[in-house]
Amino acid sequence: MTPILFWGLKAALFLLAVAMLCALARLLIGPTAQDRVIALDCLYINGMLMMLVLGIVYASSVYFEAAMLIALFGFVGSTAMAKFLLRGEVIE
């Protein structure tokens, strides 16, 4: 691994950690429930990107499947929360 890739991956992990902290702050201080829903949506997308970057760091494609699962279940979770806020129940 060349130094440019090493430091590029370090910088990307740092930026994604900052992004996750911003989303977490909005998740905690969000005044309304829909703010928290989009903060959680942003948080899982940032976590998925961090999984992909970690897959490059360790040169392992196992992280790719974890990122795929996060993408799948994050969408289901966000949609279920939106549906709950809209209707009062998830499955009617």
Partner 1 sequence: MNDALATSPLWADIATAVLVVVGASFAAVGSFGLLRMPTFYRRIHTPTLGATLGVWSITLATIIFFSTQGYGLFLHAVLISFFVGLTAPITTIFVMRVALFRDRRKPNPKAPVPPASSAPSTAPTPPAAPATTETP
**Residues at the contact surface with partner 1, assessed by CB under 8 A:** 1-2, 4-5, 7-9, 11-13, 15-16, 18-20, 22-23, 25-26, 32-35, 37-39, 41-42, 45-46, 48-49, 52-53, 55-56, 59, 61, 64, 67-68, 71-72, 75, 78-79, 82-83, 85-88
Q: Nearest distance from residue 16's CB to partner 1, in Å?
A: 5
Cα angle for residues 67, 69, 71 (degrees, 5° grid): 70
How far apart CA 42 and CA 75 sit, in angstroms, is: 11
Placement of tokens 């009617």 in the chain: 92
